[in-house]
Amino acid sequence: MTAEAASTSPASSGELTARSERSNWRVRAAHSLYRSATRVHWAEQELLGLGGLVRTGDEVIDVGAALGMYTLPLADLVGRSGRVSSFEPQRRGLWAVRLLRAITGPHRGQVSRIALGPRPGTSTIVVPYHRGFPIFGHGHVAEGADGESGRQHRSRAPMSTIDIWCHEHAITGVSFIKVDVEGFEPAVIEGARATIDRDRPSLLLEIEDRHLARYGRTAAGFVDELLERWPDYRIYIWTDGDWARTSAIVPEVRNYLFATDRAFAR
């Protein structure tokens, strides 16, 4: 076989295509750093399990992008042909994620200063203070929440829904959605029902009674609603280096994966 023939063989062509779809080295390096950070608990352990669900070319959504802990690893996994749509209504988090994306180089998707919820409109983002310092990680949507005492910083941000965003941007085939919004998770899922009905994306959700309570919700009630509407989902937690089936919501676990059998078999 000649060199020219070898270069155009199906195997070689497939290898070149795979390489061209991979993320650039800076995104891969950032992903590696986040994975390393899980060893000292500076990053969430669930990052280690994303590769079992997210593939090159996937369409994924990161709600509550904060400082980019999930956005950059997801950008590495979906590669140049995939897309990560990230949402962060707090300006501090928005600037941080945009800066990280600029440093790591171009890849598909965008970071938007939008709060996602059950309907379009405008939202108020509340950031509580503790001992004189703002706790940005506890920032949450004020609409529907119980009134809280103490010093707070409030800002306004537009609100949309996942369903509207996907329709406006012609996004189909969503395979993965991560949501961490300090108790507002049920409202985000309410605004994503059509997308979930259509695509059955895997859902990585923070579910904690202490945050859900501010909206008059409970973890058990939220999970029951999810499984009643989409009974083909199974619940998993990341433990001992793998996704393990579970049927219980426990206080010591924050993040729960809802996925179909098909999601793992892709």
How does pLDDT run across 64-90, given as a tens digit for each residue?
998 889 999 999 999 999 999 999 999
How far apart CA 51 and CA 244 sit, in angstroms, is 15
Range of the domain at 58: 3-231
Say yes or no to pLDDT of 2 above 50.
no
- Provide the token pair at 159: 């609100």
216-221 mean pLDDT? 97
SS3 state at 31:
helix
Check residue 265 and give its pLDDT: 93
SS3 state at 243:
strand
SS3 state at 4:
helix
In the chain, the number of structural domains is: 1
Check residue 3 and give its pLDDT: 39
94-105 mean pLDDT? 86
Check residue 20 and give its pLDDT: 59
257 in a domain, yes or no? Answer: no
**Structure confidence by residue, pLDDT tens digits, 40-69:** 999 999 999 999 999 999 999 999 998 889
250 in a domain, yes or no? Answer: no
Bridge partner residues of 180 (DSSP): none
253 in a domain, yes or no? Answer: no
Highest average pLDDT, of 3-17, 140-154, 180-194, comes from 180-194
Element spanning 14, H or E? helix 10-21
Per-residue DSSP letter, 229: H
Least confident of 46-50, 152-156, 211-215: 152-156
37 in a domain, yes or no? Answer: yes
How far apart CA 205 and CA 181 sit, in angstroms, is 9
218 in a domain, yes or no? Answer: yes
**Structure confidence by residue, pLDDT tens digits, 230-259:** 999 999 999 999 999 999 898 899 999 999
For residue 193, what is the domain's CATH number?
3.40.50.150
102 in a domain, yes or no? Answer: yes
Q: What is the pTM of this model?
A: 0.90
Question: What are the DSSP calls for 147-160, one per residue?
Answer: P--S-EEEEEEEEE
Check residue 226 and give its pLDDT: 98
261 in a domain, yes or no? Answer: no
111 in a domain, yes or no? Answer: yes
